[in-house]
Structure 1
Amino acid sequence: MTPQRQIVSLLASAEFARAYTLAGLTAAFGSFLIERLTSPATLATIITVLALVGVATLIVRREELTPLRFAPTSLLGFLVLALVSLVWTTDRPGTLSGWATLAGYAIIAITIGHIRDTLQTVRAIGDTLRWLLALSLGLEILSGILLDLPFTAFGIDGNLALGGPIQGIFGTRNMLGFVAVVGLITFVIEWRTQSIDRVVGMLSVALGGFLALLSASPTVVVLAAGVGVATTALTIVRHTRPHRRVTVQWILGALVAVALALAFALRHVIIRLLDAGSDFSTRADLWNAILDVVAQQPMTGYGWFGPWPRAEYPFWFINLQLSDQHRSALNSYFDLLLQLGWPGLALFLILGGVATVRSWLVASVRRSVVYAWTPLLLVTLAVESMFESFTLTGIGWLLLVLCALRAGQTRSWRQNIDDAHTGTVPTLGPRG
């Protein structure tokens, strides 16, 4: 067999698909640790190599793919808009670099979405997070209890003996809390699908819950509440008779709208109950400053950057006003308004909203509980986006693209067109 055929055979193999998925997820979840131990250039090189290998893998597997279901239209539109912002940005190299990072993670997510099914993806994320969360706990124990010494190289302050907050290997307590919640969702789905045995399932859930608690992140409380409500609602829908599901869906939708309105009206009371006044007041001041700047260029924004560059307008100007050093808007939606204007925010909402509706409808009728992973994770990303900009960079962006791709593969207008061309009648019954 020639070397070329060996490479093609390797890229098309199931073993390589699993290895690539684990490598991509580890690089994305461990991006902060990679940067701190090496350099941003090393992380960029890893993501670039993974993206190029992903493109090669998709080319080798091109006969398994169809153009109509390759990627969500809203995702492609968002990437195009971010690239087009080169026209009006004040820092073209910075915007091009930010776009390349965005595209790199998207390519990795698209590759994983096409070479692994939902259960395989859930198992890969579960395996990755078990190791990374265990590593976080181990380093926190070593730093905060055994040595009583902060590990600055890992970004660990060593507060475990004080009851937190802890950061693990993820840089901040909010990121640790977010990753722990993603882990909890994944571990429970693994457990329910019997992908892992009972002991491993119990230990995994305990690990995720313990780290979420010790992160002392105020956003974890909101995330847990949002995921809990979504899980309850989805459980109700899944156990409702088929002819009543539409009515129940509308009732639940109305209840969600009322709950959001009440939450907004009682936001000050909720903040006091969460004992997170300083965190939320900081965010409120930041968002007000962003809105003032957005009013100057509401339709174009100031160009795509991702994390804020320190020396570019309007980012330095906002920080100067607040006497702070923010690297993001601490809110994905405000960050999009600032960088890509209202069109960018609209495309982002369409990408996430359509994916959530599609995956929710699939999970409500499919028997296997694995289909609940996608909508629950999308709810987590939507809620987290209100308090952090994680969904626009790194692992948050990768998970959003992966979930949107998964939802589009399962239920979309493109599937109906594709099935019509192949003579297949699309079905979506409860047996899945």
Structure 2
Amino acid sequence: MISRSALNAATNVGAVILSSPRTSAALSTVVIGTTVAAFFLRTVLGTAGFLAALMLLVVLVSLSAWAQWKDIGWRALVPISLILFTGWVWLSVAWSQYRAESVASALYLLMLTIMGIYIALVRDTIQIVRAFGDVLRAALVVSLVFEILTGLIFDSSIDALLIQGNLGTAEPIQGIFGTRNHLGMIALIAFITFAIEYATRSVERNLAIGSLITAALVLLLSQSPLALGAGLIIAAATGALAALRRVPSGRRRYWQILLMAFTTATLIVSWLSRTAIVAWFDASDELAYRVGVWRQLWTLEDNYRLEGWGWIGPWDATVAPYLAFGSFDSRVPDSAHNAYLDVWFQLGVVGFLIFVGLLGLAFTRSWLLASRRRSIVFAWPALVLLALAIGALAESSILTDFGWVTFVVCCVKASRELSWRRALDSSVSPGI
């Protein structure tokens, strides 16, 4: 029989291991890697195997957070706006038209949220950037290897992974992410991450330059109109942010207002010129497909406009109302292809306003931090959040897997730095 002293000694050893920086770094990297390769892992392991891996990760990060609780503190929980959104997701189970699926999807979202919160609480921003950089480097290289094998060496396809072997043709590539838009957005976030690594000299110069070239190459090969358009906006935002950082703090507020006015005007002009912009990116077919989905979604939304149909995350085509969408352009939609409309449809006007508020607060805080703080590393959450917000206009990937984990990480990091509760505790603070 194990003695109490031996049990206590084993518990203490376990707590030391779980609270060590190396354990936190390893868990953070594995969480990011597992979620970024979610499509690939679901295909290889099956849904059950993938969920088992995620549940194991949730247990490990929970134990690790518990072992470090004295360093984290009770005030470092989560932003209140994030609590409101996840709370509304769970409340939607009560009136959901597909209750079992809503419970399962809400549990899945909770697991992703816990993992994202863990990364944000136990790792510094530069450590988070390095973890994302390592994972995204590997993901892009693996994608290119698969495309080279199928497109240039064997001239074949891998249907299970939706890899068509298009590298030797003029067609877009998908890598291990299933679609060109997902690959393109991953490449864009990777480019932002590698640029921060280069600016902060957190990796060797040659590695940083090679990573940037790889990300740019994959972005171009994806031929994703969404990612390419988002890239242009990110480039403009980066220039504006660099200019703001050089403005004296006393005059920065006025330049922020001027930048907001200019951005608003640009959005209006872009909306008025949307037909020409779509034609320039050769995205007419993609837009027509999405408009068809949006129109039918908007018609069905009339039934439950305030509270929504109930949370389901990625669509399940076997339950109503999603089975009613049928096939558009030989494709069965797995989402609304617009995160904002997806939230509106599933969680109603209330959920939509909470989600927009959560995103708006997170981006505002991260942008202010990026323009005020001396270290360029604080630009990473702002630019990544901007990429996610733009991507949400044509895809719903921000609501699940890598997109949601990344979103939660950026939200919590920004909240801990700028919060009304920071006055209560100078060391840590969540936010609304």
Shorter-normalised TM-score: what interval? over 0.9
| Residue 414 of structure 1: aligned partner | 421
Alpha-carbon offset, residue 66 of structure 1: 3.0
Q: Which residue does the alignment assign to 1:127?
A: 134
2:165 corresponds to = 158
Task: Give yes or no for the alignment of 1:107 onto 2:114.
Answer: yes
Amino acid at match of 1:88: W
Corresponding residue for residue 213 of structure 1: 220
- Matched residue type, 1:278: D
Conservation of the 8 A alpha-carbon contact between 2:226 and 2:391: yes
C-alpha contact 2:76 2:121 (8 A) present in aligned 1: no
- In structure 2, the partner of 1:241 is 248
Matched, 1:386 2:386: no
- Name the aligned partner's letter for residue 289 of structure 1: Q
Structure 2: 5+ residue runs without aligned partners? 1-5
Distance in 1, Cα, partners of 2:52 & 2:178: 20
Aligned pair 1:202/2:209, yes or no? Answer: yes
Equivalent runs, 1:352-363 vs 2, <5 Å: 352-363=359-370
CA drift of 1:324 comes to 4.6
Does residue 343 (structure 1) correspond to residue 341 (structure 2)? The answer is no
Q: Is the 8 A contact 1:381 1:391 kept in 2?
A: yes
Displacement of 1:151 after TM fit?
1.8
When normalised by structure 1's length, the TM-score is 0.95
Q: 2:296 aligns with which of 266, 285, 289?
A: 289
CA RMSD across the alignment: 1.5
Identity %: 32
Higher mean alpha-carbon deviation, 87-96 vs 189-198, is at 87-96
Greater shift after overlay, 366-375 or 263-272?
A: 263-272
* Aligned residue number for residue 5 of structure 1: 12
Q: What is the aligned partner in structure 1 of residue 3 from structure 2? A: none
Correspondences of 1:40-79 after superposition (within 5 Å): 40-79=47-86
The match for 2:195 is: 188
The answer to whether the Cα contact below 8 Å between 1:69 and 1:408 also exists between their aligned partners in 2 is no
Equivalent residues of 1:286, 1:322 under 8 A apart: no
Deviation digits for residues 175-234 of structure 1, max 9, x if unmatched?
A: 100100010000000000001121111110010000010011111121111211211111
216-225 or 180-189: bigger deviation: 216-225
1:224 — aligned with what? 231
- Give 1:323 deviation, angstroms: 7.2
Which residue is 2:373 aligned to?
Answer: 366
Supply the distance in 1 between the matched residues of 2:199 and 2:320 (Cα, whole angstroms): 49
Contact map agreement 1:181 1:224 (CA 8 A) in 2? yes
| Counterparts of 2:46 and 2:277, CA distance in 1 | 40
Deviation string, structure 1 residues 320-365 (Cα, Å, up to 9, x no partner):
6887510100000010011000111111111111011111111111
TM-score, normalising length from structure 2? 0.95
1:39–1:145 distance in 2 versus 1, CA, 3 Å: same
Q: Is the 8 A contact 1:105 1:394 kept in 2?
A: yes
Alignment-mate amino acid for residue 150 of structure 1:
S
Partner Cα separation in structure 2 for residue 215 and residue 321 of structure 1? 22
Q: Could you tell me which residue of structure 1 aligns to residue 25 of structure 2?
A: 18
Alignment equivalent of 1:254, drawn from 239, 254, 261: 261
Distance, in Å, in 2 between the alignment partners of 1:77 and 1:17 is: 27
